[in-house]
Amino acid sequence: MADTSNAIADVVVVGSGFAGLSAAISASQAGASVIVLEKENSLGGNSVVSGGTVTVVGSPIQAREGIQDSFSLLKSDMCQAGEHRNNPRLVQQVIEQSYPTFEWLTNELGVKFKDRVDQYGGHSVPRNHTPQDVSGAAMITALLTKAKQLGVEIRTQTRLSKLLVNS
């Protein structure tokens, strides 16, 4: 049964997929008290059933395989896939954070990736890094482990019905 009690936290994250758990971890590491609310009975959302692939520019695997990639090339691919309706600032942020995110997943969370890169639709060069077990579940498990280590409170079967903000 869902927890219907009121809760107080510095940060409330709605959803327990890749983005939600990453946000919860970052907020907790910055010193905030964090609650993650997941409406479903299980954690991970759609991320848990994805392939868990991460798009990365400038990885050591790309370098080893002689793959010529760049921020500008990924930007071109992303804008073409988005029919040039993308938010340029967000596109740039995604691109600039691609390798730091990969390092964070690998070094801090212990996610193991295959020792090769793949080229999926919409990408003009191989830059897709896939977890060894080819699932988003491995990344969700790593994110959940880190969140729990940091003391992030996680509630399942809990829908956000009202948010009171007190600055």
Bridge partner residues of 129 (DSSP): 54
Confidence of residue 2 (pLDDT cuts 50, 70, 90): low
Domains in the chain with CATH codes: 1-49+135-167 (3.50.50.60), 53-134 (no CATH)
- What is the reported pTM? 0.86
Residue 3: predicted pLDDT: 57
Q: How far apart are CA 10 and CA 47, in angstroms?
A: 25
Neighbours of 35 (CB within 10 A): 19
Predicted confidence (pLDDT) per residue in 109-145, tens digit:
999 999 999 999 999 999 999 999 888 998 999 999 9
Give CA separation, 157 vs 40, 102, 107, 108, 142, in Å. Answer: 5, 30, 32, 29, 21
User: pLDDT at residue 153 above 80?
Assistant: yes
Q: How far apart are CA 6 and CA 8, in angstroms?
A: 7
Percent of the chain with pLDDT over 90: 84
Token pair in block for residue 146: 């880190």
Q: Which of 41, 46, 1, 2 is nearest to 20 (CA)?
A: 46
Exposure of 59 by Cβ count < 10 A (0-12 exposed, 13-18 middle, 19+ buried)? buried
Give the mean pLDDT of 38-48: 93
Token pair in block for residue 114: 């295959």
